[in-house]
Amino acid sequence: MGERTQLFINVTDENNEKLLGTVIHYQWGIETRMLLDALHIATNLPMWLYDVTNEQEKEKYRDLDYVLTNCVGLHNPKKARLLRSEIFKLVDGNHEVMNISETNDTFVDYLNKLLINYPENQRQKLLLEPRIGNDIECLEYEILDAYNATYKDFKDQCDNNDGFMIMDVEYNNQSDLDKDSFGSQNNLEKIRFGFILSDYGNPTKPVTLEEYAKLPINNLSDKFINSYKGLLQSLDIGFLSIDEVKSKLEI
């Protein structure tokens, strides 16, 4: 039930190294909902992340950071989990793909607790051997989806019947990132949006903002579209071209 859409957020550094790939799911993502959320996220991406190199913090997330590095393949697991946590603080309601309604833990702490009891000598198998019938059932896929979703697989996470939105982000100062910083506003080299029509989860056609906004289910006015485009332009937020999206999706 619902008009299901997803926002895929892909974050890289200037060397095209993946920092984060994550998906925000909307059960009712039509009209202005997802567009305005994307704008809010884009204009509030963290410029600075507090230092978490103290021993207590390192020990707390040792298990999750191990998996993010050695199984998921992220070169900076600390940045991945901190950036994702900051992004999800910016959206209304519960958009997490994993259901954690029975606990007050944050998503990252929920994952971390599950991993604490996962045998250390078996963690390298996380992406190879799904575990069935316990709390860690398919945990490897949850972690991969949450932190390293890609253009090739983000569409497979959730049911979708009303299209996808992409936010492609590039930070341009790796030296600052290595100092536990997302630096100044100038470190956001590029933020670009893209839009894709969906045939129940199968991306069928990259489209422009205008085409997406004019879908019958969205039915947004020319006034809104022009205002939205003008605001993006004033914030130096651009658009992925149709050909770029096709190339990234390989369709």
Quickly tell me which residue has 């029975």 as its tokens: 102
Where are the domains positioned within the chain?
Answer: 5-249
Contacts of 85 (CB under 8 A, 6+ apart): 106, 107, 108
Contacts of 138 (CB under 8 A, 6+ apart): 130, 131
In terms of residues, how long is the chain?
Answer: 251
The answer to whether the CB of 17 falls within 8 A of the CB of 177 is no
Contacts of 121 (CB under 8 A, 6+ apart): none
What is the pLDDT tens value at each position of the chain, 251 positions in all?
Answer: 557 888 999 999 878 899 999 999 887 777 898 999 999 999 998 765 444 556 777 788 888 888 889 888 898 888 898 889 889 888 865 444 444 444 456 778 877 777 776 666 555 555 444 444 444 445 766 788 889 999 988 888 777 777 899 999 998 754 444 444 444 445 556 899 999 988 765 667 899 999 999 988 888 999 999 999 999 999 999 999 999 999 998 75
- The helix-helix angle for 33-42 and 222-234 (nearest 10°) equals 10
H-only helix segments in the chain: 33-42, 55-60, 62-70, 77-89, 107-116, 139-148, 174-177, 209-213, 222-234, 242-249
In terms of Cα–Cα distance, which of 109, 129, 131 is closest to 57?
A: 109
pTM of the model: 0.82
HSE (side-chain half, CA atoms, 13 Å) at 242: 10
Strand partners, 148: 21
User: Given this model, what pLDDT does residue 200 score?
Assistant: 63
**Token representation of residue 233:** 């332009």
